[in-house]
Structure 1
Amino acid sequence: MSSSPLNVAIIGMGTVGSGVAKILLDRAEQMTTRAGRPIQLKKAVVRDLSRPRNVDLPAEVLTDSIDAVLHDESIDVVIQLIGGIDPAYDIMLRALESGKDVVTANKALLCEKGESLFRRARELGRCICFEAAVAGGVPLIETVTQAMTANQITSIEAILNGTSNYILTEMFSHNVSYDDAVKSAQEIGYAEADPAMDVDGTDAAQKLGILVQLALGIKVGLNQFLRQGIDCLSLADLQYAAELGYTVKLLAVAKLLDGQLEMHAQPTLIRNDNPLAHVEDAYNKIALEGDAVGKVWLSGMGAGQMATASAVVANVVDIAVGRAALTFPRLDLWNPREGIKIMPREEISRRYFLRLNVEDRPHVLADITNVLGDHEISIASLVQHEAPEVDPSEEFSIVPLVIMTHRTTEGRFQAASRELDELDCIRSPFVRMPVND
């Protein structure tokens, strides 16, 4: 084992980058003990050198030049924490080609460009480590790629977006609106100024895509499976779900069924006796099912500075002790495999929750049940609270109607939804969610 220092550079000193720097600087002695050699932060690349930061960096560490890192032969590892695809893809390629291993938390980049990046890393004899890209501080990537290698993973059910989970928890626990819960998440630092990728389901879908790639060897684009966010929900939806014995979570699912992969990431009603229903705040929880080990549960913080930084630093230590160099070239990561087909979304079978705002007048319920019946969808339960008497000057009032269906296919449900959208008696919003039984 080498006793020489492992020199690292951070590109991107945002929330996570600052957390990584804090750990490397404040726990230098601990990191040396665990890595068997010193880990030295040599450079930190920022866009604005004059901007104040919440971590005290030595003056010689800060730079606004990426080339200062890539051209420095003494730097062994680049911690690449820039989001998005461009210029992150070019920076990672250049880091690999300059002889450096890479640690990243960029799930969007891996989801879109993982195959070419991993191929190039193997050609160059370099490593890419990415534990922080999925589930924050939860050691999920290591579990899927190493600890469960004796298994064929047959099922993934996971809460993978800590920001959305915090928002849903805040709404229901504190009886606040969606907008107020988002604002709270932004104030704490869980949500960005523009929280779109978290709340529209993109982040969870990207993470699910990475897990499917690792577990099953197939690349699934975001447009190939159902994706829906929590930005369509209101407090009323969570309250009606609770009345029916369920909790709403943004649930990412991938299941092997008869040689096909059922895959979706959507706000979903989960029975209250399911452990996934009790994951609160910014925590993530993942249920992996293997054909040998059965069900394995993992849980931990899925958002926040130090949780994600923890996973980044763990990868740096893997490189320092030589584990990454041994495992990366041998693991079957991002090598395309054949044989598993994506289940057409129209064939996915499950139950559904509908919340409709309807005119409180005769024949409305008959109109709705006729549409559902025409598509062979039967009703399991119906909730309509007693409405107040209508003012004589008004023709009718608008009241919420909640329907739980029996099991049906996504194709039938979508066809019925389109017809329900056309009924004059239904007013927007029309909320629909799957049920995980």
Structure 2
Amino acid sequence: MSAEPLQLGLIGVGNVGTGVAKILLNHPDRITRRSGRPVVIRRAVVRDLSKPRDLALPAGVLTDDVQAVIRDPEIKVAVELMGGIHPAREVVLELLKAGKDVVTANKALLCEHGDEIFQLARELGRTVAFEAAVAGGIPIIAAVGQSMAANQIVGIQAILNGTSNYILSEMLLRGQTYADALRGAQELGYAEADPALDVNGTDAAQKLGILAQLSFGTKVPLSEFHCSGIDKLEQADIEYAGDLGYTIKLLASARLVEGRLELSVRPTLIRRDRALAMTHGPFNAILLDGDVVGSVWYSGRGAGQDPTASAVTADIIDMAIGRAQLTFSRLDLWGESAGFPIAPLEETASRFYLRLAVDDRPHVMADITDILGRNNISLASVIQREAPEVEGDSPTPVVPLVIMTHRTKTGQLQAAEAALHKLGSVKYPWTVLAVAD
């Protein structure tokens, strides 16, 4: 066991950075035993030196100058926990050029600039470790890059955003409205004051993009696959899904179909007896399908100080013993393979759930089924709750109509929706959700 400590630079001492520092400071014997040498925080970069912190770092460690890490030749590994894309991109590139290996939890940065960062790291003989960028404390990067190395992954189904999953769980289990569930998530610290990236699907899409790159060798810009969130979901859809035997989850999905890659992040009906449907609260879950091993399941806390700090610290330990460097040199990363072509959205196929608001009068159902039929969309089931009887000149009541389709191409459904817009008896907007196989 080498006595020479690994000198570390910590850039960002917010929630996760504080968690990492506490693990290193509170468990030095454990870290030394598993790293083969001590790990020492030599510099910790913060924005505001005067801000009170629940952390007792040695004197002289805190600084507000990131150059104190970049220019220090004794620091061999830098941990980037700034978040966001700028100036994180510029800082990471400078760190690599200065001869540092980098640990990061920054999913947005890797999704947007992973190709540039990894290419530079390769050219300079440096390493980037990023276990905490996807699914917090779940070791999914190691699973895909190492444990599943004998396989071609052919499918991913995952819950990758704990905020959305908590909100959907509250809507299902407590009957809360979306607004009330979101407010509760914010009060508990599961959601930011501005929760847009969580609830509109962007956060999960960034994570899926990283997993898709590792699993399929394909870089997929977010603009090239379907991404929608839970911010327009209504309690009625939760209830109808339950009546049909399903639970709605924000599902991140990637799969190979006839040699092409289909990707999406969207609210999806999942049969309620499946493990994904039973994953509640701020938890993440990932189902991988390999062509050799079959299905493999991972679940755990996907966000928060402790789970994310656990993953970051594991990467630091891997850096200290050289395992991260060995793994990084063999990972199929950005720009290193042609990957699989991306299937156009209109050619992807799924079963669908439709909830329409329609006039309760003769021939409306016939008009709707005629449009669906002309677009080769077959119906699996229909639910229309009874409306009250009306007499005389009373307005025609509007009632909900819920349709479950058999498997159909997205393009066929889009064509049917365009025709439905022309029916005065069908009110817009309506709800369309995917149904998992």
What is the TM-score with the length of structure 1 in the denominator? 0.95
Residue type matched to 1:119 in 2? Q
**Segment of structure 1 superposing worse, 360-369 or 177-186:** 360-369
Deviations 1:141-160 (A, max 9, x none): 00111111111111111111
Partner of 1:292, secondary structure, is coil
Q: Supply the distance in 2 between the matched residues of 1:180 and 1:74 (Cα, whole angstroms).
A: 50
Map of 1:13 onto structure 2: 13
**Is 1:218–1:336's contact at 8 Å kept on the other side of the alignment?**
no
Map of 1:330 onto structure 2: 330
Map of 2:240 onto structure 1: 240
> Does residue 403 of structure 1 match 2:403?
yes
**Is 2:200–2:230's contact at 8 Å kept on the other side of the alignment?**
yes
> Does residue 149 of structure 1 match 2:149?
yes
Q: Supply the distance in 1 between the matched residues of 2:37 and 2:392 (Cα, whole angstroms).
A: 82
Q: Compute the displacement of 1:120 (Å).
A: 0.9
Q: Compute the displacement of 1:359 (Å).
A: 2.9
Give matches, 1:146-225, under 5 Å.
146-225=146-225
Q: Supply the distance in 2 between the matched residues of 1:248 and 1:159 (Cα, whole angstroms).
A: 11
Residue type matched to 1:116 in 2? E
> Does residue 47 of structure 1 match 2:54?
no
Taking structure 1 as reference, are residues 429 and 55 closer, same or farther at Cα in structure 2, changes over 3 Å only? farther
Map of 1:4 onto structure 2: 4
Partner of 1:284, secondary structure, is strand
Deviations 1:303-337 (A, max 9, x none): 21111111011000101112112222233332432
Residue type matched to 1:324 in 2? A
Taking structure 1 as reference, are residues 86 and 422 closer, same or farther at Cα in structure 2, changes over 3 Å only? farther
Map of 2:86 onto structure 1: 86
Unaligned runs of 5+ in 1: none
Residue type matched to 1:21 in 2? A
Taking structure 1 as reference, are residues 4 and 234 closer, same or farther at Cα in structure 2, changes over 3 Å only? same
Q: Supply the distance in 2 between the matched residues of 1:325 and 1:317 (Cα, whole angstroms).
A: 11
**Is 1:219–1:336's contact at 8 Å kept on the other side of the alignment?**
no
**Is 1:85–1:108's contact at 8 Å kept on the other side of the alignment?**
yes
Map of 1:430 onto structure 2: 430
Partner of 1:369, secondary structure, is helix
Map of 1:355 onto structure 2: 355
Q: After TM superposition, which residue ranges in structure 1, 4 or more long, deviate above 6 angstroms?
A: none
Q: Compute the displacement of 1:92 (Å).
A: 0.3
Give matches, 1:7-406, under 5 Å.
7-338=7-338, 340-390=340-390, 394-406=394-406
Q: Compute the displacement of 1:370 (Å).
A: 2.5
Q: Supply the distance in 1 between the matched residues of 2:89 and 2:422 (Cα, whole angstroms).
A: 45
Residue type matched to 2:206 in 1? Q
Q: Compute the displacement of 1:70 (Å).
A: 1.1
Residue type matched to 1:385 in 2? R
Q: Compute the displacement of 1:58 (Å).
A: 4.0
Partner of 2:96, secondary structure, is helix
Q: Compute the displacement of 1:59 (Å).
A: 4.7
Q: Supply the distance in 1 between the matched residues of 2:52 and 2:236 (Cα, whole angstroms).
A: 42
**Is 2:214–2:331's contact at 8 Å kept on the other side of the alignment?**
no
Partner of 2:93, secondary structure, is helix
Residue type matched to 2:294 in 1? G
**Is 1:375–1:412's contact at 8 Å kept on the other side of the alignment?**
yes
Q: Compute the displacement of 1:80 (Å).
A: 0.5
Residue type matched to 1:304 in 2? G
Partner of 2:44, secondary structure, is strand
Partner of 2:135, secondary structure, is coil
Deviations 1:343-399 (A, max 9, x none): 121111221001122233333323322322221212211112223345977513332
**Segment of structure 1 superposing worse, 393-402 or 306-315:** 393-402
Q: Supply the distance in 2 between the matched residues of 1:99 and 1:47 (Cα, whole angstroms).
A: 24
Unaligned runs of 5+ in 2: none
Partner of 2:277, secondary structure, is helix
Deviations 1:153-177 (A, max 9, x none): 1111111111111111111111111
Taking structure 1 as reference, are residues 331 and 377 closer, same or farther at Cα in structure 2, changes over 3 Å only? closer
Q: Supply the distance in 1 between the matched residues of 2:427 and 2:55 (Cα, whole angstroms).
A: 51
Q: Supply the distance in 1 between the matched residues of 2:335 and 2:428 (Cα, whole angstroms).
A: 45
**Segment of structure 1 superposing worse, 136-145 or 212-221:** 212-221
**Is 2:359–2:399's contact at 8 Å kept on the other side of the alignment?**
yes
Partner of 1:146, secondary structure, is helix
Q: Supply the distance in 1 between the matched residues of 2:304 and 2:348 (Cα, whole angstroms).
A: 34
Deviations 1:229-261 (A, max 9, x none): 111201111111011001111111111122111
Taking structure 1 as reference, are residues 194 and 422 closer, same or farther at Cα in structure 2, changes over 3 Å only? farther
**Residues matched between the structures, number:** 437
Identity across aligned pairs (percent)? 57
Residue type matched to 1:410 in 2? T
Q: Compute the displacement of 1:410 (Å).
A: 0.4
**Segment of structure 1 superposing worse, 271-280 or 130-139:** 271-280
Q: Supply the distance in 2 between the matched residues of 1:91 and 1:240 (Cα, whole angstroms).
A: 49
Deviations 1:8-63 (A, max 9, x none): 12212222222212212222222122212111122222212222333343452222
Taking structure 1 as reference, are residues 325 and 340 closer, same or farther at Cα in structure 2, changes over 3 Å only? closer
Q: Supply the distance in 2 between the matched residues of 1:35 and 1:139 (Cα, whole angstroms).
A: 18
Q: Supply the distance in 1 between the matched residues of 2:339 and 2:18 (Cα, whole angstroms).
A: 43
